[in-house]
Structure 1
Amino acid sequence: MPRLSRYCLLGCLGLLAGCDLLTDHYRVEFGDGSWREIAITPFSDEARWREGCATGEILTDLVLPLKRGKEEEGRRPLLIGGERFELDDNNLYRSNGMVFGHSPDHIQRGLKGLDACRGLRPVRGGLPKLKARGFGE
């Protein structure tokens, strides 16, 4: 009987967690540390789009409509919030050529980050170096 109660407990926990346990996260990280992430649940018709800065601020957290197309040549076309994407085994390709890697295994580093994050954190070497007077000079 204790074995049956363990399975019931695991089943109840699975129902409480829902399909979030099956969610695939695709992420791109830029050179300045800012990032974009798209989370897709296999049975849902919505995708979660998040953007944030290296400092921890989350700028965008949206739930967008998701439409799936028929798989062709190993790739499945997706329409996320009206924009075309293609999904293969490990990567999500955006229509503009950006690749979202299957996180946390792969993070693609890009050249240009999010504009809103640039004002939140100064660029390395951008601040003047302050010298304390009277200390060794």
Structure 2
Amino acid sequence: MASRGFSSTARQLKHLNWTLHGTTIDVSWLIQQIERSIDEVSGLKARVVSAQVIGNPHPTPNRDDPYHGSVILLDKDSKRVTSAHAYLNGYVKFSKEATFKPVKLPPMLGAPVIPPEGVLTKKTDSASEKGKK
């Protein structure tokens, strides 16, 4: 019986140099999700060498944008390649959608199951209620 070839080499993920700007909570899930997504997108793995987390993850209710982390992806000259929003469900959306297609990954370990208490997750009806009186 012929022996089968075996490789113990694991797939190497892209590891970026990270900086946090105004981030006060643990965002390790966000960092892991962005690094994994870069491996999935043609054109990003070779160009992106560093990234910046911008603020704490949050929703943007006026744009119907659910809870997400915001990241800027930079090249070797510290020039912006694109930015991205990473969501709790594993979805990553890049600002230059025509060039970099969205990625759907499994949710990351350590990601909050629900947004932290006190964070708005959708538009409130308070503005529409004011006009009904």
Which TM-score applies when normalising by structure 2?
A: 0.34
Task: Name the structure where strand makes up a greater proportion of residues.
Answer: 1
Which TM-score applies when normalising by structure 1?
A: 0.33
Question: Considering only CA atoms, is the larger Rg found in Structure 1 or Structure 2?
Answer: 1
